[in-house]
Amino acid sequence: MPKISNKGLKMPESPIRKLVPFAENAKKKGNHVYHLNIGQPDIKTPQIALNAVQKSELEVLAYARSEGSEIYRKKLVDYYKSKNIMVTANDIVVTTGGSEALFFTIGSITDFGDELIIPEPFYANYNGFSIANGVIIKPVVSTIEKGFSLPNIDVFENQITTKTKAIIICNPGNPTGYLYTKEEIKKLATLVLKHDIFLIADEVYREFVYDGLKHHSVMSETGLENHAILIDSVSKRYSMCGARIGCVVSKNKDLIATVLKYAQARLSPPTFSLIASEAALDTPQSYFDAVIEEYVSRRNILITELQKIANIKISKPKGAFYLIVALPIKDADHFAQWILENFQDNDETVMFAPASGFYSTKNAGKNQIRIAYVLKKEDLIRAVTILKLALLAYKS
């Protein structure tokens, strides 16, 4: 029988999606499942984006340009300028979601056996994309006790070898909601310049920053023109996860030229999604003001309810819409499956993402879960109540 490749066998399951069959079985039994496992906002997509697709008069759904339409990239330039990110349309390659942007970037800067340094816990697909490219992740551990703040810069430097190609951060972070300070970004900038490596920043949650704090982009740092790479997406910003439009942004001309070759190989981003994304850039600030207010309210309600559970640890997120919770159990993966298969309260149960899948260090985060607070407040309250009852039943 033909064999599957080693890298295929090493590809990790999604910690977010691997429990879907158990959730579907729970629903077949008549249970309602509160989905805290996936970052799919329930916020409405801006109507201006939906209208653009509905009103389209295209008679042929043709290929788009591999790098994305010029009009979309020029509108992106104006958007980035409003965020103090000064780039040109030629610094941008549009991709099929932020995931493809990451995959193209890793493929463009690494060879088999090269290394990437990433603070963990991190977005689970960084593991998969690295394995698919034959790349080794060198994790730098951040802890829930310290709010997942950036570890001492010496810890990063100690991980750098001749095989190191980049440091990757997610800012604000998935799964932690951590927001890197301007000072932390500057420390990383100094380090990558010293060792002549890339600094990749996944900034897809840029709009969602709370408590009066400000987001600081790596693209705003002077001196990083050849070292900074920005990963972006419309998925979370406009609640357009299904559009699958992202981009790679960099002033490094060789990097952009290489990413474009990957983009040409997959032909083009989806045409209707480009139309929607172009229109979405005209979304007024009032939309984001309302969304941020809603997420802050949800975060606060969620933390208040979680604090009613004994012996847990919570890291208060400063951005995005995720938080990590350490539960008084040994194995959150087992608990996550158990709660879907064996527990319900008034025909309701809950689904969350075990946090171990957001680590590359073996056995790290085993007692942690990631909660996405993308449900309305009353559903969050009910979901935490079920979690509390399930923990009592599970431990007994």
How high is the pLDDT of residue 141?
A: 93
Q: Cβ distance 227 to 250 under 8 Å?
A: no
**Domains with residue ranges and CATH for the chain:** 6-44+286-395 (3.90.1150.10), 47-280 (3.40.640.10)
More confident residue, 41 or 298: 298
Report the alpha-carbon distance of residue 132 to residue 16 in Å, rounded: 19
**What DSSP character marks residue 171?**
S
* Token pair belonging to 135: 């790349």
Per-residue pLDDT, 273: 97
| Residue 17 confidence (pLDDT) | 78
pLDDT above 80 for 72: yes
C-alpha torsion sign, points 58, 80, 249, 176: negative
- Contact (Cβ atoms closer than 8 angstroms) between residue 197 and residue 218: no
Type of residue at 202: D
Query: For residue 319, what is the DSSP state?
Result: B
Handedness of CA 85, 90, 91, 94 (dihedral sign): positive
Residues 6+ apart with CB under 8 A from 67: 73, 92, 93, 94, 260, 263
* Residue percentage of the chain with pLDDT more than 70: 100
Rounded to whole angstroms, how far apart are CA atoms 290 and 119?
31
pLDDT of 121 above 90: yes
* pLDDT score recorded for residue 14: 80
What are the DSSP E strand ranges found in the chain?
A: 32-35, 92-95, 115-120, 136-141, 164-170, 198-202, 228-233, 246-249, 313-314, 322-326, 348-351, 353-354, 368-372
Q: Spell out the SS3 assignment of 76-117.
A: HHHHHHHCCCCCCHHHEEEECHHHHHHHHHHHHHCCCCCEEE
Positive or negative: CA dihedral 98, 100, 103, 104: negative
Which pLDDT value is given to residue 10?
87
pLDDT band at residue 323 under the 50/70/90 scheme: very high
What is the arithmetic mean of pLDDT over 224-249?
A: 97
Looking at 2-11, 135-144, 310-319, which range is the least confident one?
2-11
Least confident of 3-12, 198-207, 220-229, 325-334: 3-12
Three-state DSSP state, 52: helix
Could you give the C-alpha distances from 311 to 34, 61, 109, 325, 327, in angstroms and in order? 23, 56, 44, 11, 7
The rounded distance, in Å, linking the Cα atoms of 108 and 75 is 25
For residue 281, with 0-12 CB atoms within 10 Å meaning exposed, 13-18 middle and 19 or more buried, which class applies?
middle
Q: How many CB atoms lie under 10 A from the CB of residue 49? A: 24
Neighbours of 62 (CB within 10 A): 8
Task: Give 347's contacts (C-beta < 8 A, 6+ positions apart).
Answer: 30, 31, 32
- Give the pairing type, strands 92-95 and 246-249: antiparallel
DSSP 326: E
pLDDT tens for each residue of 11-50:
887 877 789 999 999 999 999 999 999 888 899 999 999 9
The per-residue pLDDT of the chain, averaged, comes to: 96
Average pLDDT over residues 138-145: 95
Task: Please write the tens of the pLDDT for every residue from 339-391.
Answer: 999 999 999 999 999 999 999 998 999 999 999 999 999 999 999 999 999 99
DSSP structure string for 194-233: HHT-EEEEE-TTTT-B-TT-----GGGSTT-TTTEEEEEE
For residue 396, pLDDT over 90 is answered with no
Give percent of the chain with pLDDT exceeding 90.
95
At residue 172, the pLDDT reads 98
Amino acid, res. 357 = G
Q: The tokens 């340009």 sit on which residue?
A: 65
The CA angle 367-369-374, to the nearest 5 degrees, is 170
Contact (Cβ atoms closer than 8 angstroms) between residue 89 and residue 73: yes
Give 181-185 contacts, CB < 8 A, sequence gap 24+.
Answer: 181/150, 181/216, 182/214, 182/216, 184/149, 184/150, 185/216, 185/218, 185/221
pLDDT for res 7: 86
> What is each CA distance from 24 to 33, 137, 187, 234, in whole angstroms?
9, 33, 46, 28
- Residue range 166-180, pLDDT digits in tens: 999 999 999 999 999
- Sheet with 136-141, edge to edge strand ranges: 92-95, 246-249, 228-233, 198-202, 164-170, 115-120, 136-141
Is the pLDDT confidence value at 308 over 80? yes
Asked if pLDDT for residue 105 goes beyond 80, the answer is yes
